[in-house]
Amino acid sequence: MTGALPDAPVVNVLVIVAATGFIWLGSGWLEEAAEALSGYYGLPAVVQGSVVVAVGSSFPELVSVLVTALTGVFDMGVGALVGSAIFNVLVIPAASGLSGDSDLEANRAIVYKEAQFYMLAVSALVVTFALAVIYFPVSTDPIVGTMPRSLAVIPLGLYGLYLFIQYQDVDDAGIERVRDGVDVPREWGKLAAGLGLIVVTVERLVASVESLGATFGIPEFLAGVTV
C-alpha cells in the first residue's frame, strides 16, 4: 500500500504528518461549506452542530473505517473511531472551557435531547457488538464474533430516528434563511472538494500507519487509537 514512496519509517512519519495537515485542510473546507449551506437552507443552530458539522467533522473517521475494512486492518479503523470519540467527548469540551474567555453554555435541548440520545447511541452500539459475539461467534478463545448486515442496520436505524427528530426541529423552528453573500454552487463545490481531499489523504494515512505498525510491532487497534 505504500505505492511509489519508499517503505521507510522516516518516510511514513512524514506522510502521516502531511496527511494530517491535508485532512485538517479538507475538514475545514467541509465544515465551512456545510455551515454556510446550513444558514442558506435555514437550519437551527443545534441541527447545524449535531448533524451538519458533526457529519463533516466525522467524515475522516468514516473514511478511515471504510479504508481499513477494505484493506483488511479493520481493528485499526475501530481504534481510530474509539480514540476519536473519547477525545471529542472528554478533551474538547474541557479544553474549550479552560481556554475560553467566557463560560460555556448548556441549554435544555443539549441536556435532554442531545446528551441523552448520545448515551442511547453508545448503549445501542454495545448491544449490537454483544449480539455479534453471542449469535455470530467465530471463536471462543479469544471470544470473537462477526457483525453481519442484519446487525449493522440497528445503529443505522437509530441514526435514522435521530435525523427524523432533527428534521422535526427544523420544521418547528422556522429559522429565517441567510441568503445574502452565499454563493451556493461555490459552497457545494467546496464541500465536494473537502470530501475528495479527505478520501484520498486518509488512504495514504492508513497505509503509512499500517506500515509503521508492521515495522515496530504495534497492534492495529492501538495504532488506530493513538495515531
Please report whether residue 136 resides in a domain. yes
In a domain, 22, yes or no: yes
pLDDT at 227: 60
Asked if residue 156 belongs to a domain, the reply is yes
Q: Give the pLDDT mean for 47-76.
A: 78
The mean per-residue pLDDT over the stretch 54-76 comes to 80
In this predicted structure, what is the pLDDT of residue 5? 66
Strands (E), 31-70: none
Overall average pLDDT of the 84-110 stretch: 81
The answer as to whether 4 is a domain residue is: no
- Crossing angle of helices 9-40 and 54-70, rounded to 10°: 140
Does residue 137 lie within any of the structural domains? yes
- Of 138 and 222, the structure prediction assigns the larger pLDDT to 138
Q: Which domain holds residue 94?
A: 9-175+183-226
Using CA atoms, how far apart are residues 167 and 213, in angstroms rounded to an integer? 43
Between residues 119 and 179, which one has the greater pLDDT? 119
Residue 128's pLDDT is 93
pLDDT beyond 90 at 157: yes
Q: Count up the domains in the chain and report the number.
A: 1
198 falls within a domain: yes
pLDDT of residue 175: 64
- Look at residue 1 and tell me if it is in a domain: no
What percentage of the chain's residues is helix, strand, coil (to nearest 5)?
80, 5, 20
Q: Which of 71, 87, 59, 57 is nearest to 210 (CA)?
A: 71
Nearest C-alpha neighbor of 58 from the set 169, 159, 127, 204: 159
Residue 107 covered by a domain: yes
| Range with lowest mean pLDDT among 96-110, 156-170, 205-219 | 96-110
Instruction: Give the pLDDT mean for 38-57.
Output: 75
- The pLDDT tens digits of the residues spanning 116-129 come to 888 999 899 899 98
